[in-house]
Amino acid sequence: MNLRDIARWDTGALQAVQRSLSARLATIGFVQDRLADIGRLPTWHADAADAARRRFRIAADDLTGEAAAIAVVERLTREMVDAVTHLQTELDGLREAAVAHGMALSDNGDVADVPGPAVDASAAARRDELRAAARALILQAEDLVADAAAVLTRAADGELEPGEVEHAGSGLSAPAPPSNGSPLDNREYWDALPDAQRREVIERHPDWIGNRDGIPSAVRHEANVGRFDDERSRWEAERDRLRESLDHNGFGGAFTDDDAALWYAEQKLRDLGDLEKLVRDNPDGRLILLDLQSGERTMAAFALGDPDTADHISVTTPGIDTTVASLGGMTEEAKALKSETERQLDIAGRTGETVSTIAWLGYQPPTTTGPGNYDVPFLDQNLGRGWLLDSWQSDRATAGAPKLASFYDGLDVASQKPDPHITALGHSYGSFTQGLALQDPGPGQPVDDAVFYGSPGFHANDESDLGLAPGHGFVMRAHDDPIAVVDGFDTLGPDPVQTDLEQLSVREATTPTACGGKTPTGTASTHGPAAPANCGRPATTWP
């Protein structure tokens, strides 16, 4: 299967077959009704009548079997028309885009540059997008052929039953997304699906897409909210199993991890309640990450505004002791940040630009609560095994950074804007995770600005270490922030306030043009040129 095959598919012939099958179904239905009428003649008696009725029933049963097969094939043909039309429309768009960018799209999905000037970085990125989209179309076409062959084989073998036309699997079925696909692969997978298969994925396989970077945020939200009931049932069953296990264990949890597992199961049920409330309280928000399976703690991300259409996007990564219970407070901060950024855009005469702010808890920050912390003295919890020790460790940030880097990439490729302005905001231990994510060696750097506040370090000395342009990395820290104790040991890199990044003061200051002449807080630069004021909050954009 290649792109030429897709272009040559004859949807007109498919539509003619579909109409013929539909007409045959109508004819069979008419004959079945007439046979039933004859069999009900009340004045016809005797052995001949009984024999005739038996023959009518046999004929009617034969027609029912034939109608079942025809109905399934007719549905398959209808779905094929829609799917092929969608593929051909997408292919036409790809070919037009290739020509517009001076590229040639080959039948096997490869993309080549036509003779001319050397390819720059943006052209290389466009070539990668075209190639990923072309190959997604080919994979989708191959899946359509395989599904159609399976249905037609069953019909030919007489394996289709009456009523099967309404069952899942009797027509085209949506393929699973690519295993370990990049955010770009995921977006192209979604774009290649016709509407019917997209709906199938959302309703029957929400776990395929809810946490998959590159999928549209509205789709991820619908899929994740649709998982609430299933996740609650899953964790209620796990809670009940663990309770029963502990009830029948004479030693309690002394020699097993069941007591700790029960604590986390009950916590995840509380997390689900918190997330449901968050969604209810913010009907315009989007739950673009919901993960209760891959870690001890629930991971989630919540967006205000539409990140797929926003000109400016911020992503806040929190630090120690942040859990799903904290997302409500983070969302309120995101509201304030969104409102202030929109106000600053208005002041700068950029009223038409839109903003989305995201609270991202897609990793497991160190915590001072839960099993393992309750088992040691209070002082040891908060010093020996608590935030101070954990803030020196890199394992949680190292595990979370690739996820955050992928999330940034996903925002970029899912955006309907050519180049959305993305700002990374990292607090405390989250700034360390953010710094590692910005140093992820992926293709390109979707993040434009980064702010690190209350940071223990992030293994970087200037913007070049983070893939940022000069003057686009900022550091903030209060003079009495206890995280400075960690900075003094240089465990996670140089002391952030001693680096060459732009240093923003957290003290009050006034600039002549900001905030309508009011006094902002936490905006004056102490290193390099002054940063425009943002009225007390790190902004997603500086006008």
- Identify whether residues 47 and 148 lie together within a single domain: yes
pLDDT of 288-346, one tens digit each?
Answer: 999 999 999 999 999 999 999 999 999 999 998 899 999 999 999 999 999 999 999 99
Are 348 and 484 contained in the same domain? Answer: yes
Q: Considering the domain boundaries, does residue 211 fall inside one?
A: no
- Show the domain range for 484: 284-517
pLDDT in tens, 444-489: 789 999 999 988 888 888 999 999 999 999 998 876 666 655 555 5
Give the list of residues 6+ apart from residue 405 with CB closer than 8 angstroms, or none: 437, 438, 440, 442
What pLDDT was estimated at residue 523?
36
Flag whether 86 is in a domain. yes
CA dist., res. 456 & res. 430, Å (int):
9
According to DSSP, residue 525 is labeled: B
Q: What is the mean pLDDT of residues 218-223?
A: 98
Take residue 367 and report the two structure tokens written for it: 């915590």
In whole angstroms, what is the distance from residue 469 CA to residue 449 CA?
8
Q: Which range, 13-22, 75-84, 201-210, 381-390, has the best average confidence (pLDDT)?
A: 201-210
pLDDT band at 529 (very low <50, low <70, confident <90, very high): very low
Give the type of residue at 219: V
Averaged pLDDT, 14-26: 83
Tell me which residue of 447, 454, 491 sits closest to 473, measured CA to CA: 447
Does 309 lie in the same domain as 451?
yes
- Do 314 and 441 fall into the same domain? yes
**Average of per-residue pLDDT across 242-252:** 79
Number of folded domains that form the chain: 2
CA distance 53 to 45: 10
CATH number at residue 501: 3.40.50
Domain assignment of residue 359, yes or no: yes
- φ, ψ at 536 (rounded to 5°): 95, 0
pLDDT band at 520 (very low <50, low <70, confident <90, very high): very low
Judge if 327 and 431 occupy the same domain: yes
537 within some domain: no
Residue 393 within any structural domain of the chain: yes
Neighbours of 243 (CB within 10 A): 14
In a domain, 165, yes or no: yes
Output phi, psi for 103, to 5 deg. -125, 160
User: In this model, does residue 386 exceed pLDDT 70?
Assistant: no
**223 is a domain residue:** no
Give residue 483's pLDDT.
Answer: 64
Q: Which one, of 465, 462, 468, lies nearest residue 528 by Cα? A: 462
In a domain, 196, yes or no: yes
pLDDT, mean of residues 53-72:
66
Statement to judge: residues 198 and 319 lie in one domain = no
Question: Average pLDDT over the chain, rounded to whole?
Answer: 82
Residue 543, pLDDT > 50, answer no
Return the structure tokens found at 427. Answer: 């607090």
Show Cβ contacts of residue 185 under 8 Å, excluding neighbours closer than 6 positions: 132, 136, 177, 178, 214
In this structure, which amino acid lies at residue 431?
S
Band (pLDDT 50/70/90 cuts) for residue 250 is low
The predicted-structure confidence for 121-151, as pLDDT tens digits, reads as follows 677 888 889 999 999 999 999 999 998 898 8
Question: Residue 220, exposed/middle/buried by CB under 10 A (0-12, 13-18, 19+)?
Answer: buried
A 10 A CB-CB count for 165 gives: 19
d(CA 210, CA 208): 6
